[in-house]
């Protein structure tokens, strides 16, 4: 065996994350002669507190930046005289890869390629350790008694593992074509302190701690192998010093457990009734039944698993019980199928506890290579709102929905500011973002007409300027700054047709193409929705006939029809703002994107609404009906009538009420009490 490798200046990517932070802390602790430089963009699953044991060390330096920035990576390699790279940075959660696979390609493949190219150009790297996963092998046969060895075929089955396999191919190619001294590792599941709770074990521990049920994907028969984080950190220490260039090393254990058994063991730790505390939920689109590794090659280097499962699980439980707020608000991660912060550029924000004023630590903001010291720690009196990980920039201050969003933020303690720029003015939007520094942008601005959409028929350039050009400009600016834009749009782009007959209960779905062009307003909304599909940082919410508990607002659908002499009587989907606008804030928090029918399930006709109005609000109220043909004689532009399928939103928020129940609870009951 060759003599041990001794690095001098090590770059660890993604070291504010789970596994890499344990590796970094171990190397800092055991090798004070090594200079450790950490590069991490502080994505949602990273936390500077994970590096607390190292941050006061003179041989530690933290750089905030993205591995996808070639200029930054080259700058670091040259200025820090890097001779060794341990490449951990990656998107790793399989559930997320089913929702936004392009981000996995960008981070896992492109980011790795940037690092490899920088190594080739600088020509100074003596070791490049690429961290991969056991999932690249694909599913192991259930009756296999020998695990996948390092020369086994790669057969990934999900977007995450496919991107990791793709990155491995690049690493191998650069090793063969350019002679880069590469080593690849493929590891089993890892657990322990500091892990972001989108992963099963920390998720189950936090849920059990709160007395909540543990969601099992499928039937829980899937088998996994688990290694304690400190054992894995030791494995990387061994591979760093003893691993042979050009080789692959499995980091694994032959001790396997079914997912359902892990859940039961966690129930035992918290004295929970297993039958009542475990629920089975919808499985992933594809969920490998088993991963099984042959770890003999690494054992031959002198490594072996040291921590028994029972001891490791107990230590992990004790840590999460003692540190429940380590990650802040993780409610989105505790969902059965979390999709956390997968919009490009959404990153963990710096706050008081994450601050270090040591001269050994600094931040580089990619891609401009400007450096800035960490800010001063905030005092203990910092308000909950200031500690929030979210800050909203809201457009539509003078509008109905925009005003309500501001009130919701005030009530929840979410920092927010209203935008000052006009949507069609790109420079003013960029100034807003620079000044406010939001995590999300909420766009409730738009032209619906004064007093109604008929106005748009004679003001077409103005309508296009705001509804199309303005909305697209804001989406583009947000994309440029890596921000999610919540766009409060409309469902008035459909009308009943042969495939969606009136009264059938068959609603239009998110993927259906708009079929209503009876008004210029609807034309502009349909046009911009289609174009916004090209922006993966936009969440489009199709609002329909909005109603709130404020029955005095002229935009309120009930206020409108209760003031008409005659109304048509057609079932329509509607949006109860008192219930759904807070849900939209939660959607922003979960960083959901794409198109959503933003209505309560079901449909109600004009007469059904007015009958409830008469029953709850004004017993003397009377009204008359007229036909669509008669209505057409008194309006300029046709009106959209449709039912929308809200099953996608209902699945994400199962507590959402059906339309009639929501209307009674949030609108009529409160107003009935107020009139007594």
Residues 496 and 642 sit within 8 Å (Cβ to Cβ): yes
How far is Cα 568 from Cα 530, in angstroms, rounded to an integer? 30
Residues 338 and 332 sit within 8 Å (Cβ to Cβ): yes
DSSP helix/strand/coil, 540: strand
Is position 643 annotated as part of the catalytic site? no
Nearest to 517 by CA among 638, 365, 606, 424: 638
How far is Cα 418 from Cα 431, in angstroms, rounded to an integer? 13
Give strand pairing partners of 417: 393
Is position 160 annotated as part of the catalytic site? yes
Q: Is the dihedral of CA 151, 256, 96, 385 positive or negative?
A: negative
Nearest to 366 by CA among 40, 139, 27: 40
Strands 60-64 and 35-40: parallel
Catalytic residue, candidates 40, 103, 135, 645: 135
Distances (CA, A) of 160 to 289, 335, 440: 16, 19, 26
DSSP helix/strand/coil, 391: coil
How far is Cα 14 from Cα 41, in angstroms, rounded to an integer? 8
37 DSSP 8-state letter: E
Catalytic residue, candidates 66, 95, 134, 512: 134
Residues 252 and 295 sit within 8 Å (Cβ to Cβ): yes
Residues 291 and 101 sit within 8 Å (Cβ to Cβ): no
Distances (CA, A) of 298 to 19, 249, 540, 609: 18, 6, 49, 70
Catalytic residue, candidates 44, 137, 160, 488: 160
> What is the phi/psi pair of residue 227, to 5°?
-120, 140
Round the CA-based radius of gyration of the chain to a whole number and report it. 28
Is position 103 annotated as part of the catalytic site? no
Question: Is the backbone peptide bond immediately before 367 cis, with ω within 30 degrees of 0?
Answer: yes
Residues 188 and 293 sit within 8 Å (Cβ to Cβ): yes
- Cα-Cα-Cα-Cα dihedral of 232, 236, 242, 244, to 10°? 110
Nearest to 575 by CA among 597, 608, 553: 597
**Which residues does 461 contact at the CB level (< 8 Å), separation at least 6?**
none
3-class SS shares of the chain: helix, strand, coil, % to 5: 40, 15, 45
Nearest to 75 by CA among 312, 410, 340, 368: 368
Nearest to 130 by CA among 151, 101, 109, 148: 109
DSSP helix/strand/coil, 315: helix
How far is Cα 59 from Cα 327, in angstroms, rounded to an integer? 26
Q: Where are the alpha helices (DSSP H) in 379-519?
A: 400-412, 426-436, 454-457, 460-464, 471-480
- Cα-Cα-Cα-Cα dihedral of 78, 39, 162, 285, to 10°? -170
Active site residues: 134-135, 160
């Amino acid at each position: 065996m060759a003599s041990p490798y001794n690095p001098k200046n090590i770059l660890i990517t993604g070291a504010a994350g789970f596994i890499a932070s344990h590796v970094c802390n171990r190397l800092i602790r055991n090798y004070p002669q090594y200079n450790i430089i950490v590069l991490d963009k502080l994505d949602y699953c990273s936390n500077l507190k994970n590096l607390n044991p190292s941050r006061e060390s003179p041989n530690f330096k933290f750089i905030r930046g993205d591995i996808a920035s070639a200029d930054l990576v080259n700058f670091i390699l040259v200025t820090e005289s890097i001779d060794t790279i341990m490449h951990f940075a990656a998107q790793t959660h399989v559930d997320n890869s089913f929702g936004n696979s392009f981000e996995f390609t960008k981070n896992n493949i492109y980011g790795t390629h940037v690092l490899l190219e920088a190594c080739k150009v600088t020509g100074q790297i003596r070791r490049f350790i690429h961290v991969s996963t056991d999932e690249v092998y694909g599913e192991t046969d259930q009756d296999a008694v020998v695990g996948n060895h390092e020369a086994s075929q790669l057969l990934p089955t999900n977007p995450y593992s496919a991107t990791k396999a793709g990155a491995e191919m690049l690493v191998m190619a650069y090793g063969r074509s350019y002679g880069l001294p590469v080593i690849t590792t493929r590891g089993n599941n890892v657990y322990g302190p500091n892990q972001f709770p989108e992963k099963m074990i920390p998720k189950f521990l936090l849920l059990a701690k709160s007395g909540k049920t543990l969601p099992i994907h499928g039937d829980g028969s899937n088998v996994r192998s688990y290694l304690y984080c400190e054992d894995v950190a030791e494995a990387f220490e061994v591979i760093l010093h003893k691993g042979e260039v050009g080789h692959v090393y499995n980091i694994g254990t032959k001790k396997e457990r079914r997912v359902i058994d892990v859940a039961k063991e966690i129930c035992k730790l918290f004295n929970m009734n297993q039958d009542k505390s475990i629920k089975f939920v919808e499985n992933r689109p594809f969920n490998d039944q088993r991963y099984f590794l042959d770890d003999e090659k690494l054992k031959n280097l002198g490594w072996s698993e040291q921590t028994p499962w029972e001891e490791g699980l107990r230590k992990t439980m004790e840590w999460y019980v003692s540190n429940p707020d380590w990650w802040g608000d993780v409610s989105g991660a505790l969902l059965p199928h979390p999709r956390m912060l997968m919009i490009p550029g959404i990153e963990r924000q710096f706050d008081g506890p994450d601050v270090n004023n040591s001269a050994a630590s600094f931040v580089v903001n990619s891609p401009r290579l400007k450096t800035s010291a960490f800010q001063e720690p905030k005092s203990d009196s910092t308000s909950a709102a200031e500690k929030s990980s979210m800050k909203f920039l809201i457009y539509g201050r003078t509008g109905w929905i925009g005003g309500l969003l501001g009130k919701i933020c005030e009530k929840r303690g979410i920092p927010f500011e209203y935008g000052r720029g006009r949507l069609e003015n790109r420079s003013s939007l960029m100034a807003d973002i620079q000044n406010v520094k939001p995590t999300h942008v909420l766009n409730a601005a738009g032209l619906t007409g004064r007093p109604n959409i008929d106005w748009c028929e004679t003001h077409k350039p103005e309508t296009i300027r705001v509804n199309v050009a303005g909305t697209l400009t804001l989406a583009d600016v947000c994309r440029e700054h890596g921000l999610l834009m919540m766009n409060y749009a409309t469902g008035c782009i459909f009308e009943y047709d042969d495939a969606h007959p009136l009264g059938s209960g068959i609603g239009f779905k998110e993927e259906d193409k708009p079929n209503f062009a009876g008004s210029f307003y609807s034309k502009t909304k349909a046009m911009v929705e289609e174009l916004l599909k090209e922006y993966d940082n936009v969440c489009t919410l199709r609002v329909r006939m909005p109603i709130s508990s404020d029955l005095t607002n002229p935009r309120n659908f009930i206020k409108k029809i209760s003031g008409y002499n005659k109304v048509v009587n057609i079932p329509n989907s509607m949006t109860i703002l008192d219930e759904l606008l807070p849900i939209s804030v939660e959607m922003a928090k979960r960083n959901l994107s794409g198109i959503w029918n933003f209505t309560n399930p079901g449909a109600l006709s004009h007469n059904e609404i007015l009958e409830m109005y008469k029953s709850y609000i004004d017993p003397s109220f009377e009204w008359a009906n007229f036909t669509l043909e008669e209505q057409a004689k008194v309006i300029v532009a046709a009106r959209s009538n449709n039912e929308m399928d809200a099953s996608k939103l209902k699945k994400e928020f199962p507590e959402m009420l059906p339309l009639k129940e929501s209307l009674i609870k949030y609108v009529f009951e409160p107003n009935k009490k107020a009139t007594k």
